[in-house]
Chain A
Amino acid sequence: DGGITQSPKYLFRKEGQNVTLSCEQNLNHDAMYWYRQDPGQGLRLIYYSQIVNDFQKGDIAEGYSVSREKKESFPLTVTSAQKNPTAFYLCASSTKKVRTEAFFGQGTRLTVV
C-alpha cells in the first residue's frame, strides 16, 4: 500500500538518552516534515526537507536533528538536549506543487521516563 509510515507507535526513553523516530514514505514525495504536537496546542514544525541531502530548521528545531539521505526516509533524532521531549510526533510528506495534499503518518508518542 502507498503511504507514509512512522515507527514505533509508542516509545519510551530515559532522560539523557538520544532516540530516533522513523518516517518512511513510498509516495515519491520530495518534501517531508516533522511536527510536534502537545495537548491543546497546534502542530509545530521541527524540521522539513524539500530535497534529498537538504533540510531546514522549523520553528522548534533546538534539541532535534534530522537526515535526508534517501528520498523515502526522514528520521528524526530527539537528543538529550531537548528539555521537554515528551510529546506526540507527526511526520508528513507532500509534493512541491501548490495544490498538493500533505499526507501524515500515524504518529509516534514519545514518553521520557
Chain B
Amino acid sequence: KNQVEQSPQSLIILEGKNCTLQCNYTVSPFSNLRWYKQDTGRGPVSLTIMTFSENTKSNGRYTATLDADTKQSSLHITASQLSDSASYICVVWVSGNTGKLIFGQGTTLQVKP
C-alpha cells in the first residue's frame, strides 16, 4: 500500500532555532517528492520538488533532502521565524497513468518568540 508517514506530528521551537522534519514513504513506482507548507485554513504551497536523482534541494531557509534508497526525506528549516508556524506536508507523486499524489499527515510546527 502506498503510504507517506511524517514525524514528529507536532513540534514547538523557539524563534531563531533550527529544526528538521522527517518523511518516510512506501510508494511505488516513485516519481518525485514534494514538501508543502500549509497555513491554517489555506491551501498548501509548494516548497520543493525532488526526483529520485536529486539528494538536496534548497529554497531559502528550507533545505530538503532525499534518500531514494532508504525512501526517506527530511526538511530542514534554518533560523526559524514566527511566520514558519504552519503545517508541513510531505507528498509523493506516484508515476504511471494514474499520477496520484500521496499525502503525509503533516507536521505542525509552532515557532514561539
Q: Is A113 an interface residue (CB 8 A)?
A: no
In the A-B complex, the 7 residue pairs with the smallest Cβ-Cβ separation, listed nearest first, are A104-B43, A42-B105, A43-B103, A42-B103, A101-B46, A104-B44, A106-B43
- A-facing mask of B83-113, CB < 8 A → 1, else 0? 0000001010101001111011110000000
* List of B residues within 8 angstroms of A102 by Cβ: 34, 46, 91, 101
* List of A residues within 8 angstroms of B93 by Cβ: 98
Please tell me if the beta carbons of A42 and B4 are within 8 angstroms of each other in the complex. yes
CB within 8 Å for A35 and B41 given contacts A98-B31, A99-B51, A101-B49: no
Residues of A within 8 A of B (CB): 6, 31, 33, 35, 40-45, 48, 50, 56, 58, 88, 90, 92, 96, 98-99, 101-107, 109
Known pairs A48-B100, A90-B44 / 8 extra A-B pairs, C-beta < 8 Å: A6-B43, A42-B89, A42-B104, A58-B100, A92-B43, A99-B49, A101-B46, A104-B45
B104 to chain A, nearest CB (A): 5
Please tell me if the beta carbons of A105 and B43 are within 8 angstroms of each other in the complex. yes
Residue among B41, B89, B101 making CB contact with A109, cutoff 8 Å:
B41
A103 to chain B, nearest CB (A): 8
B90 to chain A, nearest CB (A): 9
CA distance A98 to B93 in the complex (A): 8
Please tell me if the beta carbons of A50 and B99 are within 8 angstroms of each other in the complex. yes
A44 to chain B, nearest CB (A): 8
Please tell me if the beta carbons of B105 and A106 are within 8 angstroms of each other in the complex. no
Please tell me if the beta carbons of B101 and A45 are within 8 angstroms of each other in the complex. yes
CA distance A40 to B87 in the complex (A): 10
Output the nearest chain A residue to B10 by Cβ-Cβ distance. Answer: A40
Please tell me if the beta carbons of B105 and A41 are within 8 angstroms of each other in the complex. yes
Output the nearest chain A residue to B54 by Cβ-Cβ distance. Answer: A99
CA distance A52 to B104 in the complex (A): 28
Please tell me if the beta carbons of B99 and A107 are within 8 angstroms of each other in the complex. no
Q: Which chain B residues (42-100) contact chain A, with CB distance < 8 Å?
A: 42-46, 49, 51, 89, 91, 93, 95, 98-100
CA distance A48 to B49 in the complex (A): 21
- A-facing mask of B26-46, CB < 8 A → 1, else 0? 000001101010000111111
